[in-house]
Amino acid sequence: MIRHLPFSALALPLLASSAWAQATPATLKAAAEAVGLNIGIATNSFNVSNSAYATQAKNFNMVVCENEMKFDNTEGPIGTFKYNGGDAVSKFAADNGMKMRGHTFIWHSQSNTAQSAVKDRTSGLKVMRDHITAVGGHFKEKIYEWDVLNEITADGSGGLRGSFWRNNIGDDFGDSAFVIARRAVGENGYLYYNDYGADGVNTKSTSMLNLAKKWIAAGIPIDGIGLQSHLSAGIRKDDISANIKRFGEQNLRISMTEIDIKNATATDWSNLMTACLENFNCVSFVTWGLSDQNSWIGSNCGCLLFSGSSPTPKTNFIQALIDAMGKADPAIVAKRKEFAARKPGSVVGINRANLINTRKSPAGGLLGAASVPVFSVGGNTVVDAMGRNRPIAPNSPWASGLSIIAK
Ligand code: XIL
């Protein structure tokens, strides 16, 4: 039966049964490219080295490390960096013409190395600066979208979540993270804030929208919002679409970054894709894993597009996505392509004087990185290379080259 054929064999038989067969490209990747969308999976260095897995992974045009670029996987002990997992996945992406997301710089979880070194505002800013500067500097140019901040909004009533980052640095910790990230990765790479439970219009997503508006007004270099999209059957298309639209009104990109739909039907997949396609600013659609077999929520989740340890496509779900893309409004597709092509920094601009030089010194250190001051909105100090607080003053050597936004 067709469901046991390799995914690449799906194209012709299914195409013939489609009413818009002439216009609809035959594969997931081709259909996504036709509508200006990145379509991706979370993965890891072990899986991409397996040929059966890699064959199916090539049906996508974007990847993200499920764990290997998180804080604890890239830094430990503090000040010692390792990039092997991310490097292997990034090589797989480059070899196969895929884009890559970078997940994630600042999160309260899987960040024990950071947590034990962060004791107050100064040490918190220093740990943040050194991590983003090193990891961002290493992967710069290779990463299309960075999750600078992950899960910083509280559930329920909204507002910031308590975390070791926030509790030590203060409520402006995210401001510094974005500025440091832009300096570290240079002019390429869209900078995101990523969170869960904010897929539809609700208290949490409204709180995130208000935070993003505050950042934009203050010149904090955000480019987009990641909607993790950990969902269950019964997708509410109109609610999700309305939420994406209000971020589009701020010119913010939306990426669905960690999609899994527990016990999904083909209609659920179609509805989630359509919620994205209805909005010009929805640019990436990324599932959190390739096969149910490796899903973080369990191999019986019924939540991804493939199943089994040798990943087997769920052809009805994949076809539902292709069909939804075949029905995309051409006017929105054209607008998405124009919007997606805008450069990183388009929302608030890039202060090129702030970009640091991340060339390697002969000893392997980052030239320039040691003298990067830290910036925060609403604060009245910057932190110098030694982690000392220095007052912001006109022509301060500590603030040289930075745009400081005063209280
Ligand atoms: C999960 C991974 O999938 C698991 O393998 C790991 O044990 C824990 O983290 N939100 C995120 C992701 O931003 O990084 C999380 O990934 C899932 C929830």
What confidence tens digit (pLDDT) does each residue in 378-393 have?
455 554 434 445 555 5
When pLDDT is averaged across residues 39-68 and rounded to a whole number, the result is: 98
Average pLDDT, integer, range 214-231: 91
**C-alpha of residue 83 to centroid of ligand 1, in Å:** 18
Test site for ligand 1: of 108, 109, 145, most ligand atoms within 8 A of the Cβ: 109
Q: Choose one of 145, 257, 288, 304 to mutate for the ligand 1 pocket test, by most ligand atoms within 8 angstroms of C-beta.
A: 288
Q: Strand pairing of 224-227 and 190-195?
A: parallel
Q: Specify whether the CB–CB gap between 231 and 272 falls below 8 A.
A: yes
> Ligand 1 centre and the CA of 191: distance in Å?
19
CB 232 within 8 A of CB 263: yes
More confident residue, 371 or 109: 109
Q: What is the pLDDT of residues 152-198, one digit of tens each?
A: 999 987 799 999 999 998 888 888 898 889 888 988 999 999 999 99
pLDDT tens figures, 225-262? 999 999 999 999 999 999 999 999 999 999 999 999 99
User: Which atom of ligand 1 sits closest to the CA of residue 70?
Assistant: 14
pLDDT score for 302: 98
Residue 27 three-state SS: coil
Q: 150 CB less than 6 Å from ligand 1?
A: yes
- Which of 5-9, 313-317, 354-358 is the least confident region? 5-9
Active site residue 151: yes
Closest CA to 245 of 336, 176, 364: 336
pLDDT at 97: 98
Does 267 or 2 have the greater pLDDT score? 267
Active site residue 249: no
| Phi, psi angle pair for 71, to nearest 5° | -55, -55
Residue 301 Cα, ligand 1 centroid: separation in angstroms?
15
**What's residue 21's pLDDT?**
44
Residue 361 has pLDDT above 80, yes or no: no
| Rounded Cα distance, 332 and 35, in Å | 9
Pick the more confident residue, 365 or 291: 291
Q: At what angle do helices 266-277 and 315-326 cross, to 10 degrees?
A: 30
Cα–chain-centroid distance for residue 89? 15
Please give the average per-residue pLDDT across 206-213, as a whole number.
96
Distance from first CA to last CA of the chain, Å, rounded? Answer: 65
Ligand 1 mean position, distance from CA 226 (Å): 14
How far apart (Å, rounded) are the C-alpha atoms in residues 30 and 369?
A: 41
The SS3 assignment for 136 reads helix
Task: Identify the pLDDT of residue 380.
Answer: 54
Residue nearest atom 12 in ligand 1 by C-alpha distance: 66
Position 369 pLDDT exceeds 50: no
Q: Which residues pair with 389 in a beta bridge?
A: 383
Is pLDDT at 406 greater than 70 in this prediction? no
**Cα distance between residue 282 and residue 249, in whole Å:** 12
Rounded Cα–Cα distance for residues 1 and 5 (Å): 7
pLDDT of residue 8: 45
Name 304's Cβ contacts closer than 8 Å, sequence gap at least 6.
260, 287, 288, 289, 290, 291, 292, 295
Q: Which residue has the tokens 């209609």?
A: 267
In this prediction, residue 68 carries a pLDDT of 98
11-25, 300-314, 359-373: range with highest mean pLDDT: 300-314
The helix-helix angle for 203-218 and 237-248 (nearest 10°) equals 10
- For ligand 1, whether the C-beta of 297 sits within 6 Å is no
The pLDDT value given to residue 386: 40
What is residue 24's predicted lDDT score, i.e. its pLDDT? 64
Residue 403 has pLDDT above 80, yes or no: no
Distance (Å, rounded) from C-alpha 280 to C-alpha 285? Answer: 13
Sign, CA torsion 321/322/324/328: positive
pLDDT score at 399: 43
Residue 66 beta carbon below 6 angstroms from any ligand 1 atom: yes
Average pLDDT, the chain: 85
Instruction: Say if CB 180 and CB 165 are below 8 A apart.
Output: no
Question: Which pLDDT band, with edges at 50, 70 and 90, does 357 fall under?
Answer: very low
The residue nearest atom 13 of ligand 1, judged by CA position, is 150
Higher pLDDT, 374 or 116: 116
Calpha distance 396→328 (Å, rounded): 53
Bridge partners of residue 307, in order along the sequence: 312
Q: What's the average model confidence in pLDDT over 58-67?
A: 98
Alpha-helical runs (H) found in 195-265: 203-218, 237-248
